[in-house]
Amino acid sequence: MDEIIRFSVSLPKGLLAELDSRVGSKEYASRSEFIRDLIREKMVNDSWEAQNSELIGVLTLIYTHHHSDLVLRMLDLQHDAQVQIVCSTHIHLNHDNCLETLVLKGEGAKIKAFSDKMGGLKGVKFYELTKTAII
């Protein structure tokens, strides 16, 4: 475990009250835990902006598998992807709808482009890319 360094932060009273409210509502153990999460989130977002490191994304898709050739088009895109597909999970939600998640690894722009291609296919009802990184 990393060595913990203590430092102080000065905040306006109203901002501190809002911080304490969020710490309590999200059931964080302390202000420090909440602030550590905020810092990590900022660092992940910055890494996606800089695009200078290997990034990780989780693509979530909901689609109707009955749509003409959709599954084949999805597979073609996956096989031609310029990103690494680490794993995928396919869930049958009901007779018509499937949920699929793809864990992606690579350059941010390529992950985003691949996700947009997949999400833009006719028959895809919803898609969302969750951006993350190892920091």
Q: Which residues are 105's β-sheet partners? A: 56, 84
CB 101 within 8 A of CB 56: no
92 annotated to a ligand binding site: yes
- Give me the chain's average pLDDT, please: 92
Token digits of residue 71: 């599954």
Q: Which residues are 90's β-sheet partners? A: 100
pTM more than 0.85: no
Greater confidence (73 vs 2) lies with 73
95 annotated to a ligand binding site: no
67 annotated to a ligand binding site: no
90 annotated to a ligand binding site: yes
pLDDT surpassing 80 at residue 133: yes
CB 107 within 8 A of CB 115: no
